[in-house]
Amino acid sequence: MSSISEHLAAIRAALPSGVTLVAVSKYYDAGAVRQAYDAGQRLFGESRALDATAKYEALPQDIEWHFIGHLQTNKVKYIAPYISLIHSIDSLKLLAETERQAAKCGRLIDVLLQIHIAREETKFGFTFDECRQMLEEDTWRRFSHVNIRGVMTVASLTDQTERIRKEFRAVRQFFDEIKGRYFAYSSAFNIYSAGMSHDYLTAVEEGSNCVRIGTSIFAQ
């Protein structure tokens, strides 16, 4: 067994059923993805459009690709033909461009709204109020090629577990709030993407059902 397959097995064993594992391959090459694929992993996350597209083209077609990084509007066109979920919608402008590119491809693209909760100013995403404001306006309701499936967040980079826990909990509460207010009709609004290598167990305890793990799978 490769170490990648051992790491995957250990993480899968630690995750409750019903939690989706996105293997984040952004810092690793197609060969590493192939090892994870051979260990049964079919869902991978990338954070740069051109790298994602190169891997999509080089690797088996039954892989599902998620986009997890900051996405510039001028890059949406590269990933729109094949991406299955974009975790990082952080503006109405980016949502509108995703709608436009998905329509061009004749696709319906699943997306998450990224929420900024971390202390670091450099992180991306809507504040709770910015997100409420966007949902309160009707523009997004006219889109028919993007499907808003839930929210995503990145917690503060800290070893203070209680702070991280509070952040994950607050975003989960926000997820429940907007689900009730704007997506009550939609059983498809059901993804809370939170948790990375160092904090995924805390995220799952606080209601995440989709974790994004790179280092703990791929680092040797």
Ligand X SMILES: *Cc1c(COP(=O)(O)O)cnc(C)c1O
**Candidates 56-64, 73-81, 174-182, 208-216; binding stretch for ligand X (CB under 6 A):** 208-216
Task: Quote the least distance from Cβ 166 to ligand X, whole Å.
Answer: 19
Determine the Cα–Cα distance for residues 8 and 212; give it in Å rounded to an integer: 12
Does 197 contact ligand X by CB under 6 A?
Answer: yes
Does 196 contact ligand X by CB under 6 A?
Answer: yes
**The binder of ligand X chosen from 12, 15, 20, 26 (CB under 6 A):** 26
Does 24 contact ligand X by CB under 6 A?
Answer: yes
**The binder of ligand X chosen from 25, 35, 41, 47 (CB under 6 A):** 47
Does 212 contact ligand X by CB under 6 A?
Answer: yes
Does 98 contact ligand X by CB under 6 A?
Answer: no
Of 101 and 125, which has the nearer Cβ to ligand X? Answer: 125
Binding residues for ligand X (CB under 6 A): 24, 26, 47, 68-69, 154, 196-197, 212-216
